[in-house]
Structure 1
Amino acid sequence: MDSHAFDVYKIIMEADKLRLDTLKRMIDILTPLQAVELLVVSKKLNLCLHEWGKRRDFQMGITQLLNTQIPLTRDPPSESKP
């Protein structure tokens, strides 16, 4: 199992390196203004997908299911002094 996990780790690292290399090459091709616009739009897309995923999970009840399995950690009630 450890070798499988290591293989998956290597694949993830290679994919991340490919993603960064591609982004660097794209930025080299673009003008500085285009590069900034690309990075801004990419970040907006990432945030929108994250919010969409959270809403979808909530609508499907996945978030509620996960919350029931994870105990809530709250501050202990404060003791009232007489």
Structure 2
Amino acid sequence: MELISIKNMPKEAKILLLRGLGYSSDGTFVLDSSGHKVKDRYIEVEVKLSNMLIFPGSTIILDDNPLSIASYLEEHKNGL
């Protein structure tokens, strides 16, 4: 599996990626299909465009916080 970093991807490219996954952005935060700010499911912080993380094969948008990453990996360890 090839990993591609989106950390330094231009903002416009990140927004296009989000749209392809059914999300959007106000330029700062990741928004769901209803226009509400997306919260990281593990640490309950609003996910910013600048620090969003998407694992390959997933459509779950996370914050790049180490606790969130570890929680995701623990929950999905059999699928990796």
- What TM-score, normalized to structure 2? 0.23
Higher alpha-carbon Rg: 1
Higher relative contact order, structure no. (Cα contacts within 8 Å, ≥ 6 residues apart): 2
- What TM-score, normalized to structure 1? 0.23
